[in-house]
Structure 1
C-alpha cells in the first residue's frame, strides 16, 4: 500500500525520492529504494524519470 502511494507521489509531484520515502512512512531512503525495486523492478528515481518522460512525450 505504501509503495503504491509512493509510486503516485513520484509521478504526480516534484518531491525527491527521499522526500517521498519519508512521506509514505519509511525512515531509511536506501531501504525504501530496495523495497520499491523489489515491487516495481526499477529504482524509484528511474520510475519517476520514465513516467515523467512518457508524460512529456504525449
Structure 2
C-alpha cells in the first residue's frame, strides 16, 4: 500500500529523474483512494457524517 511507504512525505521527483506529471497525479489519486475508500470506517463518505451520528447517539442515550 502506498500510504505505508510514506507517499507524500517528499516530492515525487526529488532525488530521481524528472517525474511524469500525469503519472504522479494518478499515483497520488490511487493512494488517496486506497487510504480513504468511500464509506470507510466512519460509516459514511465524509467524517462529518460519523460525527453527526455520534451526536445523535449521545443525545438519544442522554435522555
Same fold (TM over 0.5): no
Structure index of larger Rg? 2
TM-score range, shorter chain: 0.3 to 0.5
| TM-score between the two structures when normalised by the length of structure 1 | 0.37
Report the TM-score when normalising by structure 2: 0.35
Which structure's residues are more often helix, by fraction?
1
